[in-house]
Amino acid sequence: MAYVAVKGGERAIDNAHAWLAEARRGNPDVPDLALDQIQQQMGRAVDRVMAEGSLYDPELAALAIKQAQGDLIEAAFLLRAYRTTLPRFGYAAPVDTAAMALRRRISAVYKDLPGGQLLGPTYDYTHRLLDFLLAAGATPPAAAEAAEPAEAMPRVADILAREGLIETHTDSGAEPGDLTREPLAFPAGRDIRLQALARGDEGFLLAMGYSTQRGWGGSHPFVGELRVGEVTVEITPPELGFTIDIGDITLTECALVNQFKGSKTVPPQFTSGYGLTFGHAERKAMGMALVDRAMRAEELGEDATAPAQNIEFVLYHSDNIEGTGFVEHLKLPHYVDFQSELEAIRRMREEQK
Amino acid sequence: MTTISGYNFAYLDEQTKRMIRRALLKAVAIPGHQIPFGSREMPLPYGWGTGGIQITAAILGAADVLKVIDQGADDTTNAVSIRRFFAKTAGVATTTRTDAATVIQTRHRIPEAPLTANQILVYQVPQPEPLVKLEPSRAETRRMHALAEYGAMHVRLYEDITRFGQVAISYDYPVMVNDRYLMAPSPIPAFDNPKLHQMPALQLFGAGREKRIYAIPPYTNVRSLDFEDHPFRAGRAPHACGLCGSDTSYLDEVVVDNEGGRLFVCSDTDYCETRRDAGHAGDAA
């Protein structure tokens, strides 16, 4: 039979992209999804994409979600690829989460504390019953509003620290590393580890954090505090020489209180794990804090035997853009290598006869 | 072809290109040694050749002629996609002819036609660490490379011989570069390994996801690992190309019917076309 060498990769790609665009749009009788609808009504998806995409821009995240048909890892990838092309104008000062404009703040270690418990917009106590009124497009009743906005509240870690009960950290003055500029190297400092976790996959952090609770590197965690709200981002442009406020971003911060460290000479203190993410992302921040604490095992003189305590294992596998790339690349043609395997296995079988 | 606006020549900004060139210079100075570099997130996924793409972007000049192959072929979808990327972002001339290219980016093959000192071969590398299947920790493999502690790889080859009567690695077959560093040649078939040795062209290897660059400078000794009583050998399908009749090229096996029918054709599409243009014909032509 006649054989025609496979040609037409270009046409196949063009056709595939056209079909993809059509599938993304869906039935044209249904109204096109607007970016502000995604931004307003799929906020948690937008937040996740900003966190894993390492770029705080709700509008672009909404576009990425639309372009990726709601595939959030694909959307985070779109943001990452865009982010790489952006020039860096400067570096912000560390944000002050103690001054956060809070919409939610809870502590599991005190019944009440200065500022109180602020439940905020949480799913925690909803009954997970599908809401058919929502399907029918019902408008929710207005939520009650406080007479005045919540005041800045002290962080629980600071309350414990006043009594010397929890470890404190001082600024070493060293420039924090940046994984997006310099490749990962070991030993990896906590700055690099936290950056990797903040960009890391929520599902991965959830599973690794969960594993520590089930005995694979347990650290006896309490949620010292979980807070969600807006913080101000400030930069000091060299041409101005003074600090300016460039806007607010939403952050979720989780501070764990974990079991003690101490010695004959140093009185015992609680240790801590820390999680901080863009947007409202409690599961991610908590997973991050559990894994951060687990990775400190060696530093705190504990046995490091569980997967979550293995820094190299966690850091090399937390990034879902890297992970999805390498897993999915198996779809690319590998027939040249497979041919060499075919020849090898045929030769081995022949020689064994 | 018009280039895309809003992006720098060949996509990457000049500072990033300089960073990559510094890594390349270091790589050329220490043949076979993996140099960590600040790999960027590219608009193509990790695993699709981001390492090779970043190297190509860093070395490409306006006068270069680019050829991109995947599995030896210019018309495989990923080769098409990468060639388009550079046509769009750099506006460089592209070719499918091996002898007309100044830069050849490849995945999984080395062209059949010998390359010259005026050419650069850029490999896409999924896994730069040759010791990875023996030792997953990169902190540990770095130490093994520093001490040239490669006994474990020889033991692995020996175990293959005891179990299968031969070394059972058929692609990404480990090589010693310049008698010093053990190196993964990327997943080229072992058939291509001899071409690495004393090649006149500069060979550059980019692993984007793993953030490593390494190189084989022109005319460098590259030896595939073996034993005196079990010398390196690499196979090809024992057939002639059905289209051009070549009985020395690396062949793809194409399943042509449901009755076990097979057609063997050159994996290097330019090599095959060039031979056919010169009047050679195989049984199926």
Tell whether A20 lies on the interface with B, counting CB pairs under 8 A: no
| Gap between the Cα atoms of A296 and A306, Å rounded | 12
Residue B232 confidence (pLDDT): 97
Residue A9 confidence (pLDDT): 77
* Cβ contact A2–B284 (<8 Å): yes
Question: Do A194 and A249 belong together in one domain?
Answer: yes
A33 phi and psi angles, rounded to 5 deg: -75, 125
Question: Over 50: is that where the pLDDT of A1 sits?
Answer: no
3-class SS at A338?
helix
Residue A144, token pair as written in the block: 């009650």
| Gap between the Cα atoms of A42 and A50, Å rounded | 13
Question: Over 90: is that where the pLDDT of A263 sits?
Answer: no
Q: Which domain holds residue A76?
A: 11-84
Where in the sequence of chain B do the CATH 2.30.170 domains occur?
Answer: 236-285
For residue A99, the distance in angstroms to the closest alpha carbon of chain B comes to 34
User: How many domains, chain A?
Assistant: 2
Domain over B236-285 is classified CATH 2.30.170: yes
CATH superfamily of B14-132+158-224: Bacterial phosphonate metabolism protein PhnH (3.40.50.11310)
User: What sign results for the dihedral spanned by CA atoms A255, A260, A262, A266?
Assistant: positive
Question: Do A116 and A56 belong together in one domain?
Answer: no
Q: Work out the pLDDT band at A150, boundaries 50, 70, 90.
A: confident
3-class SS at B36?
strand
Interior CA angle at B274 toward B273 and B278, to 5°?
115
* pLDDT tens profile A59-99: 999 999 999 999 999 999 999 999 988 888 889 999 999 99
Question: How large a percentage of chain A has pLDDT more than 90?
Answer: 84
DSSP of A290-315, one letter per residue? Answer: HHHHHTTTTTTT----SGGG-HHHHH
The pLDDT mean for chain A works out to: 93
Q: Specify whether the CB–CB gap between A310 and A304 falls below 8 A.
A: yes
3-class SS at A198?
helix
Contacting residues of B for A179, CB less than 8 Å apart: none
Question: Do A263 and A188 belong together in one domain?
Answer: yes
Contacting residues of B for A5, CB less than 8 Å apart: 243, 265, 269, 272
Question: Do A47 and A156 belong together in one domain?
Answer: no
Tell whether A81 lies on the interface with B, counting CB pairs under 8 A: yes
Question: Do A70 and A211 belong together in one domain?
Answer: no
| Gap between the Cα atoms of B90 and B62, Å rounded | 7
In total, chain A counts a number of residues equal to 353
Residue A172, token pair as written in the block: 């070493």
* Domain assignment of residue A5, yes or no: no
Query: Which of the 8 DSSP states describes residue B98?
Result: G
* Domain assignment of residue A304, yes or no: yes
Distance of CA A227 to the CA centre of its chain: 16
Distance of CA B272 to the CA centre of its chain: 19
* Cβ contact B187–A337 (<8 Å): yes
Q: Work out the pLDDT band at A8, boundaries 50, 70, 90.
A: low
CA-to-CA dists, residue A6 to A3, B268, B284, angstroms: 9, 13, 15
pTM for the model:
0.93
Q: Which of A62, A84, A106 is the last residue of a domain?
A: A84
Question: Do A256 and A113 belong together in one domain?
Answer: yes
Contacting residues of A for B209, CB less than 8 Å apart: 322, 325-326
**Poorest-pLDDT segment among A215-219, A296-300, A336-340, B123-127:** A215-219
* Cβ contact A83–B41 (<8 Å): yes
| Gap between the Cα atoms of A83 and B134, Å rounded | 36
User: What sign results for the dihedral spanned by CA atoms A310, A311, A312, A315?
Assistant: positive
Question: Over 60: is that where the pLDDT of A13 sits?
Answer: yes
For residue A272, the distance in angstroms to the closest alpha carbon of chain B comes to 27
Question: Over 90: is that where the pLDDT of A203 sits?
Answer: yes
CA-to-CA dists, residue B11 to B6, B58, B122, angstroms: 9, 9, 17
Residues in CB range of B15: below 8 A, 6 or more apart = none
Residue-by-residue pLDDT tens, chain B, 285 positions: 446 777 889 999 999 999 999 999 999 999 999 999 999 999 999 999 999 999 999 999 999 999 999 999 999 999 999 999 999 999 999 999 999 999 999 999 999 999 999 999 999 999 999 999 999 999 999 999 999 999 999 999 999 999 999 999 999 999 999 999 999 999 999 999 999 999 999 999 999 999 999 999 999 999 999 999 999 998 899 999 999 999 999 999 999 999 989 999 999 999 999 999 999 999 998
Residue A88 confidence (pLDDT): 85
CA-to-CA dists, residue A273 to A83, A317, A329, B210, angstroms: 29, 20, 35, 28
* Domain assignment of residue A222, yes or no: yes
Residue B156, token pair as written in the block: 């692995």
* Domain assignment of residue A36, yes or no: yes
Catalytic residue from among B206, B241, B245, B282: B241
